[in-house]
Amino acid sequence: MKRAPVLIEKHGNVTLLRLASENPLNPLTDELVDALGDALGRIDADDAVHATVITGSEKAFAAGADIVAMSALDYAEAFRRDYVGRNWDRIRAHRKPLIAAVQGYALGGGCELAMMCDIVIAADDATFGQPEVKLGIVPGAGGTQRLPRAAGKSLAMQMCLSGASISAQQALACGLASRVVARERLVAEALDMAGSIARHSLPVLMAIKEAVGRSFESSLSDGLLFERRLFQAGFALRDQKEGMAAFLQKRTPEFLNK
């Protein structure tokens, strides 16, 4: 029997998604990206899940889009099928916190998938790169757009123009990753972080994700206005009353996610 390309584990109100292609380098085939989009769609619809960790194999988070499939692609088909748009946009549209736990290679679409997540935690052996230039193509799932925002223009240019990878420590130093941990601890640390996020009110988590996401899409004054309106709207939530009452009563809040 063919195994599922994405394995799903529940850890309380956190879901762990493991990219698990037959090839441990996890080429991002349409089948894998479709399965990931389906899983994230179900998580968005499930009020019991507050946060998700995406991880790969010991060898690779993902070594990029499927070079076998792309080698035969022509422009008309790529455009007609909206290649690397159609199914990848479902990851971008996911509304709850996403943590990428990256071990081994995160190359091309793999690096881009990590950058679509909200937080990147890297194992000490992780490498990040946009090697598309070596294949005679431009990065296609955000490498030229998200990498300069995450890592700054000079390093993003260096990575995209040379195709050379950076280490986990370099990813940490430039802000592409927020933590580097020992590889044996990667998934446990990512689940711990997801758990510490997931204990909070779900609508507040979703609003924060939306507001931080907006900061990359708008002017400062538009972003500040968007944030202020979300902040003011937050006073309509029962969880605002609960969070503040719990603080004043020196107890742990019991959020209702309402």
Binding site for ligand CAA (CB under 6 A): 23, 25, 27, 63-68, 84, 105, 107-109, 112, 131-132, 135, 139-141, 143
CB of 24 to ligand CAA, least distance (A): 8
Question: Smaller CB distance to ligand CAA: residue 49 or 107?
Answer: 107
| The amino acid at 243 | G
Q: Is 77 assigned a catalytic role? A: no
Strand partners, 28: 65
CB of 106 to ligand CAA, least distance (A): 10
Question: Smaller CB distance to ligand CAA: residue 78 or 211?
Answer: 78
Question: Smaller CB distance to ligand CAA: residue 142 or 243?
Answer: 142
Residue 194 CB neighbours (<10 A): 25
Residue identified by tokens 């994700």 is 209
DSSP assignment letter at 235: G
Q: Is 195 assigned a catalytic role? A: no
State the Cα torsion 27-31-34-40 to the nearest 10°: -70
Q: Is 109 assigned a catalytic role? A: yes
CB of 139 to ligand CAA, least distance (A): 4
Q: Please name the helix (run of DSSP H) or strand (run of DSSP E) that holds residue 2, with its range, or none.
A: none
CB of 240 to ligand CAA, least distance (A): 41
| The amino acid at 21 | S
Question: Smaller CB distance to ligand CAA: residue 9 or 89?
Answer: 89
| Residues 6 or more apart in contact with residue 57 via CB below 8 angstroms | 18, 19, 20, 24, 25, 26, 103, 104
Please pick, among 63, 100, 129, 132, the residue that the annotation labels catalytic.
132
Closest C-alpha among 187, 189, 154 to residue 173: 154
Active site residues: 65, 109, 112, 132
